């Protein structure tokens, strides 16, 4: 069985590499039924998801991002390829599973190393959540696009629907503190 697992791992890594080098479904979908934006207010980065759907299927999907990391583009490419053409009920189950995996990934971040011989402010090692935050933006953008579609069905006209990502700061007792979005008058 280890040979089968090694082969599956190699295939997965090749697939991820392909999406990293040549993201699929990147760009704007002109006739989108739902446009959602997943925003990380801590870094001012976002993912935009465009969906074209009917009552039972995701017919087409595209995404874009302003993230400087390759993670958001790679993960956006992977998710859009997974859900394009699929039944919405299956897509929602897939996304829920990915959201649960994401919460587990946040929870399993190793504690930072503390070096008290260094000056105050430099004692705690920086822990990156870039991978998790990118996945969070992609999944949140999808949820926002679905919500935008629902709101349009309810007669609410808006250009898009925006949601901030929800995350807990590692090693803090409360939620991350983000700068609130300022509403334009």
CATH code for the domain in which residue 84 is found: 3.90.1010.10
Q: What is the CA angle 176-46-163, rounded to 5? A: 65
Mean per-residue pLDDT of the chain: 83
Reduced DSSP (H G I as helix, E B as strand, rest coil) percent helix, strand, coil of the chain, to 5: 40, 20, 40
Task: Reply yes or no on whether the pLDDT at 172 is more than 50.
Answer: no
Rounded distance between C-alpha atoms, residue 86 and residue 29, angstroms = 17
Share of the chain above pLDDT 90, in %: 50
Domain range for 41? 23-164
Task: For the chain, list the strands marked E by DSSP.
Answer: 34-40, 45-53, 58-65, 161-164
Name which of 169, 165, 176, 167 is nearest 141 in CA terms: 165
Record the pTM: 0.80
Tell me: the pLDDT tens digits for 141-163? Answer: 999 999 999 999 999 999 999 99
Rounded distance between C-alpha atoms, residue 69 and residue 24, angstroms = 16
- Residue with more model confidence, 139 or 166: 139
Rounded distance between C-alpha atoms, residue 98 and residue 61, angstroms = 18
Tell me: the pLDDT tens digits for 106-120? Answer: 888 877 777 788 887
61 inside domain? yes
176 inside domain? no
């Amino acid at each position: 069985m280890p040979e089968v697992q090694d082969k599956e791992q190699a295939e997965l890594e090749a697939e991820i590499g392909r999406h990293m080098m040549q993201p699929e479904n990147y760009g704007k979908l002109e006739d989108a039924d739902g446009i959602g934006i997943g925003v990380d207010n801590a870094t001012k980065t976002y993912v935009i998801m465009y969906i074209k759907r009917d009552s039972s299927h995701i017919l087409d999907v595209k995404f874009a991002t302003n993230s400087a990391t390759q993670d958001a583009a790679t993960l956006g490419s992977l998710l859009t390829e997974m859900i394009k053409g699929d039944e919405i009920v299956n897509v929602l189950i897939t996304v829920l599973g990915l959201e649960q995996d994401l919460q587990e990934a946040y929870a399993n971040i190793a504690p930072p190393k503390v070096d008290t011989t260094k000056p105050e402010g430099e004692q705690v090692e920086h822990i990156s959540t870039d991978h998790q935050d990118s996945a969070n933006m992609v999944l949140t953008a999808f949820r926002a696009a679905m919500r935008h579609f629902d709101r349009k069905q309810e007669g609410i006209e808006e250009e898009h629907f925006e949601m901030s990502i929800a995350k807990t700061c590692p090693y803090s007792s409360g939620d991350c503190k983000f700068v609130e979005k300022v509403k334009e008058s």
